[in-house]
Structure 1
């Protein structure tokens, strides 16, 4: 059963009880990475293996996401600064124990491409917070694999 989450703003990224931050450098430009994140939402399942369905809603102001295992999210895009940052807040989910959740993708131009930093900021029950901390390495691996696959995908479409 889907539940409404607490609406939080960008400041929650710095104050959330659970903050997981992962970063990786890719060869693609910040502009290309941003387009893949924000403009080609339907393409997420092609590079982020945990995502089985992704679609823009409300003319790009929202997103509908489904993950392997059946977790679903209705999200609101709260920041979309081309080639810099893309962030969204989860408004509704069937995931147990979560009370608030924001994900932020921050892009920084490097001499050889882009530094992609993903921040996963959440609040939830004690059991949720504990499970999230236990799952940190899995989330990190999922991020690294996804960004590596995205970089390969972007390189092959621009080759």
Structure 2
């Protein structure tokens, strides 16, 4: 168990002690996506969904989720987030529309913000599903992945390609 940082001497879960870690500027960008049919795409882009402005609500949900990550992911430290931004990109596929969600989270602290960015992107996609499920429950969420991160002891990371899936 010596190689695993989240286990104590008894092999039980623990939160890592970051007391001595250097405080640095850190950022992370995660991406998720959701596949929707043309009716949902049109309702979202023309803001005619009965529940309201889907992207505005999803964006706020993503921001709120990033700020609450330590409350739902057991070993995440509560951290002072200095910025959160969520952006959206549409792409038409054969018979569906893919909405890519990009969540960027920043902090100046002793631990990274990868989990906060991943949580923001995920909850944003889930909120879109929730707001549109009355129209079509066949929406597909994912993949969700870390695109890049900077800062910290392990240095920078940048994904070269999107993960391959059969439809997304």
TM range (shorter): 0.3 to 0.5
Greater per-residue helix proportion: 1
Structure 2 length-normalised TM: 0.41
Greater per-residue strand proportion: 1
Structure 1 length-normalised TM: 0.43
